[in-house]
Structure 1
Amino acid sequence: MDLAGLRVIDAHIHQWDPLTTPRDFSNLARLFKYLPVPIGLATRLAPRRDREFVGGPTAYVHPYLPADYRTDAVGVPVESIVHVEVEWTGSGPTAKADETRWVASLPFGVDTPRLGAVIGSADPAADGFAALLDAHRTASPLFRGIRTMVAHHPDTGIRSFAGGAGALTTSRFLDGFAELAERGLSFEAWVYSHQLPEVTALAERYPEVTIVLNHLATPAGLYGKVGKHTGANPGERRKLFLSWRDDLSALGAMPNVVAKVSGLMMPILGHPVPKRGSSTPVPELVERVGPLVAHAMDVFGPERLLWGSNFPVDRPITRIADSAQVIADAVTAHGGGPVDLAQIFRGTAERVYRIEAPE
């Protein structure tokens, strides 16, 4: 399928400058700036769980801004993007709203795609959650919802982003979540695949909140061993796929949930990482991720699927144009046509994030 005929919204990208804004990885970026070491050496010295998650630290030690995205997105007719929070730190109960304000100030929409929506960082279980939501809304009229870092894996060799398991099920989280419903805001659920039942329970409890499943729930180890034992052999990977398939079907029964066909080229899925600067061939990626995309189409339908490049996180494995082509080819191979592709690459994002078409 030729992408040239599409109008595209990239519904999941990250913008950052770890040298001038406070990120969890800012110290790493400053270390590389003031004490330069070969990137290959730094990769070898990094903890294994970090290496397996990011594939390589290059993207995290440099700014990634609108002009960088424009360069990466050559060949894809992207009109608008959705920025999703990324590890902003800071002191004070409303500090994370500064990321929304910072993103809104970036030079989008001149010779770069427009900024269509902002997803900020906030934790429903934290004190001052309601005040933080209001600070995000004040920071930009494009603020549409939040993402909370709740991804946690039982394999201690795999990087977790929450302090413990079950973050979506605590009484404080569930009680705070009502603030999203009151404000008409959405929730981005980025979890590992074994956490899918928790997302289903959350969607059932709050049917009035749109929940956006990120990255089809990141089935770590699906394509190769990661961590201490996850995906260690074909049998284990088959079990992982079947569990993911059944749990995604259950989640798809919740009408308030949509799913992003994004992040499917993250190294933590077990993809072999090609030589730096190269990209995995599109046919290889279609063969790997095709079954995930096909099942997601069966479960959600094109009207509840949306595409995101997840750049620059997916860059060690693929390019944006190749990432989009992989999804388009997988959709087409499963019987999807131009109307379905237009829905996945633009229509669903317009509806979910209330993005207005350009004049």
Structure 2
Amino acid sequence: MDLTDLDIIDAHIHQWDPRATPRAFSKLATLSRLLPLPIDLLAKLAPPRDRQFVGDPTAYTRAYLPADYRADLGDTSVDSVVHIEVEWHGWRPDETRWVASLPFGVDTPALATIIGSADPAATDFAAVLDAHQSASPRFHGVRSMVAHHPDPGVKSFAPHDGALTAPAFLHGFEQLARRGLSFDAWVYSGQLPEVTALAERFPEVAIVLDHLATPAGIFGAVGKHTGRTAAERQHLFDRWRDDLTDLAAQPTVVAKVSGLMMPILGHPVPPRGTPTPVATLVDRIGPMLTHAWSVFGADRLIWGSNFPIDRPITSLTGAAEAVATVLTEAGASPEELRKVFGGNANRVYRVDSSA
């Protein structure tokens, strides 16, 4: 199907300016400005797990703003975007306020929804939610950085697993239900049972599984001991498949087909500026996406580009074309593709209720 036939909502993008706002990678951006070294040489100063996660650190050393996203779009037409929090350090509602101030909707897609950062386990969680809502009427949910991997060579964003089932987290999570806010769960695939348990406990909260749970190493070796052999990768796929099936039994959970080009999945990183061919991506992500389609169906899948994080592997158009091709081959009709590429995001992220 031609992408121009779709009214696309890109349900997962990131905006940042690491030199002017407090990000986890602001030090790298500052260092790149102070040291006149080639970016690949500068990257060697970072821990190996960070280098492997990003694939190409270029985007993390400079601003990525609406005009940059527009440039990445090329000829692809996107009506609106959903901004997802990204490693803001400091008072988290300030990121929501900053994103709301960016020049979206001028000669760029409109800003549909903001998913901000907040930790349900924090004692001030309710106050943080109130501040997010005051910062922008487009704030409709939160994401917490809870992705943790047992391989120490794979970059983790939380000190341990079990965050989604901890008593303090569960106590705070009730605040989302009271406010009608959604929760984006970004986890590694080994944490999928935690997401299932959370959905069972809070069926009144819309939970969005980001990136199909990022099964690190499913396409190739990463970290110290993940995805090293074909047998290991098959075992990883089998466990991911079974756990995703269990999660799909929870009717209020939707899965986001985003981040499928993240380097941490084990994609070979091509030379800078040479995106992986779409046909190669279709073959690579096909089994994952076909299974997600079979268990979640047309009404509970949402597409997002995850740009600029997926850029080292593919172009934004290539990412969208690969997903559309796999789903079409799996039997998706044009109307069902319209749901995945826009309609479902409109419903789950309450786009029509944004001011």
User: Which structure 2 residues correspond to residues 198-347 of structure 1 after superposition, within 5 A?
Assistant: 198-347=194-343
Task: Give deviations 1:58-78, integer Å, cap 9, x for gaps.
Answer: 010100000000000112210
**Residue 166 (structure 2) pairs with residue 164 (structure 1):** no
Q: How far did residue 47 of structure 1 move?
A: 1.7
User: Which structure 2 residues correspond to residues 40-79 of structure 1 after superposition, within 5 A?
Assistant: 40-79=40-79
- 2:3 matched residue in structure 1: 3
**Residue 85 (structure 2) pairs with residue 85 (structure 1):** yes
Name the SS for the 1:118 alignment partner: strand
- 1:128 matched residue in structure 2: 124
Task: Give deviations 1:125-159, integer Å, cap 9, x for gaps.
Answer: 01200000000000000001000000000001100
Q: In structure 1, how many angstroms separate the alpha carbons of the residues matched to 2:89 and 2:192? A: 27
Task: Give deviations 1:230-286, integer Å, cap 9, x for gaps.
Answer: 001000000000000000000000011001000000000000000011100000000
Which amino acid in 2 is paired with 1:286?
A: V
Name the SS for the 2:145 alignment partner: coil
Which amino acid in 1 is paired with 2:168?
A: R
Q: 1:15 touches 1:103 (CA, 8 Å); kept in 2? A: yes
Q: In structure 1, how many angstroms separate the alpha carbons of the residues matched to 2:118 and 2:353? A: 28
Task: Give deviations 1:190-223, integer Å, cap 9, x for gaps.
Answer: 0000100000000000000000000000000000
Q: In structure 2, how many angstroms separate the alpha carbons of the residues matched to 1:140 and 1:236? A: 45
User: Which structure 2 residues correspond to residues 160-199 of structure 1 after superposition, within 5 A?
Assistant: 160-199=156-195
Q: In structure 1, how many angstroms separate the alpha carbons of the residues matched to 2:82 and 2:327? A: 22
Name the SS for the 2:37 alignment partner: coil
Please, which moves more after superposition, 163-172 or 270-279? 163-172
TM (normalized to structure 1)?
A: 0.97
Q: In structure 1, how many angstroms separate the alpha carbons of the residues matched to 2:161 and 2:248? A: 23
Q: How far did residue 357 of structure 1 move?
A: 9.9
Q: 1:8 touches 1:76 (CA, 8 Å); kept in 2? A: no
Which amino acid in 2 is paired with 1:176?
A: G
Q: In structure 1, how many angstroms separate the alpha carbons of the residues matched to 2:272 and 2:227? A: 24
Q: In structure 2, how many angstroms separate the alpha carbons of the residues matched to 1:332 and 1:229? A: 35
- 2:22 matched residue in structure 1: 22
**Consecutive unaligned residues in structure 1, runs of 5 or more:** none
Name the SS for the 1:356 alignment partner: helix
Q: In structure 2, how many angstroms separate the alpha carbons of the residues matched to 1:299 and 1:194? A: 18
User: Which structure 2 residues correspond to residues 96-175 of structure 1 after superposition, within 5 A?
Assistant: 96-175=92-171
Q: In structure 2, how many angstroms separate the alpha carbons of the residues matched to 1:304 and 1:39? A: 40
Q: In structure 1, how many angstroms separate the alpha carbons of the residues matched to 2:235 and 2:149? A: 16
Q: In structure 2, how many angstroms separate the alpha carbons of the residues matched to 1:16 and 1:303? A: 31
How many residue pairs were aligned? 354
Q: 1:223 touches 1:270 (CA, 8 Å); kept in 2? A: yes
Q: In structure 2, how many angstroms separate the alpha carbons of the residues matched to 1:357 and 1:7? A: 18
Q: In 2 relative to 1, CA 285–339 (structure 1 residues): closer, same or farther, beyond 3 Å? A: same
Please, which moves more after superposition, 95-104 or 27-36? 27-36
- 1:34 matched residue in structure 2: 34
Name the SS for the 1:82 alignment partner: strand
Q: 1:18 touches 1:61 (CA, 8 Å); kept in 2? A: yes
Q: In structure 2, how many angstroms separate the alpha carbons of the residues matched to 1:243 and 1:169? A: 20
**Consecutive unaligned residues in structure 2, runs of 5 or more:** none
Which amino acid in 2 is paired with 1:75?
A: D
TM (normalized to structure 2)?
A: 0.98
Q: In structure 2, how many angstroms separate the alpha carbons of the residues matched to 1:64 and 1:29? A: 12
Q: 1:81 touches 1:113 (CA, 8 Å); kept in 2? A: yes
Q: 2:32 touches 2:42 (CA, 8 Å); kept in 1? A: no
Task: Give deviations 1:269-308, integer Å, cap 9, x for gaps.
Answer: 0000000111000000000101111111111111100100
Q: How far did residue 115 of structure 1 move?
A: 0.1
Q: In structure 1, how many angstroms separate the alpha carbons of the residues matched to 2:74 and 2:109? A: 11
| Identical-pair percentage | 64
Q: In structure 2, how many angstroms separate the alpha carbons of the residues matched to 1:258 and 1:37? A: 43
Q: 1:82 touches 1:118 (CA, 8 Å); kept in 2? A: yes
